[in-house]
Structure 1
Amino acid sequence: MKLFILYLIVINIFSFWTMGDDKSRAKQGKRRVPEKKLFGLSAIGGALGTWLGMRVWRHKTKHTSFILGVPALLLMNIAAIYFLVQYFGPGQH
């Protein structure tokens, strides 16, 4: 369980950092982080970090796919975490 919590912390920090990095790249006219990668990180547990990155850096906040998609992925992350903890968490066999 500790490893799972560590994974969630790391993936969300990385997702948050990636949103900030993409915003920085956009301002500098550099090659951008593909949206597929941003959604992929969100889908594998980093949706909270992506959502926070959207808010902190005001990044991708006018893209409907992000406005709707990231909160939907966050809800899916929460549901998956709940399921995993219920069925595989401490005290479960």
Structure 2
Amino acid sequence: MPMEIFLLYFLFINIILFILAGYDKYLARKNKRRIPENTLFFLEAIGGTPGLLTAMFFYKHKTSKTSFIVKFSLIFLIQAVLVYFYFTNKR
């Protein structure tokens, strides 16, 4: 049961972030007020990395903004290290 809840959470957060990034791209095209990058990064940090990465390629969103790519990559790297240590120290 806990694994099913985790998977549903993971699915939900990634779908939400994918949609939110697409909406941000829409707002950018309309020159409207945008979703703060920190919001996107927070959602990425709590499990939305695949959703944001997919949205970046699907919508061609923020792919040429170096500072965004660096921050995205840093969050991804931290997550990868945490997952690595979790699975290597699990007994």
Post-superposition CA distance 1:29-79 (Å, at most 9, x none): 111000110111101100111111110011111111222222332343345
8 Å contact kept, 1:42–1:73? yes
Identity %: 40
2:57 aligned with 1:55, yes or no? yes
Count residues in correspondence: 87
Q: Which amino acid aligns with 2:64?
A: K
The TM-score with structure 1 as length reference comes to 0.79
Structure 1 residue ranges without an equivalent (≥5): none
**Matched residue, 2:23:** 21
**Matched residue, 2:6:** 4
**In the TM superposition, what is the alpha-carbon distance from 1:81 to its structure 2 partner?**
5.1
Partners of 1:70 and 1:20 in 2: CA distance: 16
Pairing 1:7-86 to 2, within 5 Å after superposition: 7-80=9-82, 83=86
Partners of 1:68 and 1:6 in 2: CA distance: 28
Over the aligned positions, Cα root-mean-square deviation in angstroms equals: 2.0
The TM-score with structure 2 as length reference comes to 0.80
Q: Which amino acid aligns with 2:79?
A: N
Structure 2 residue ranges without an equivalent (≥5): none
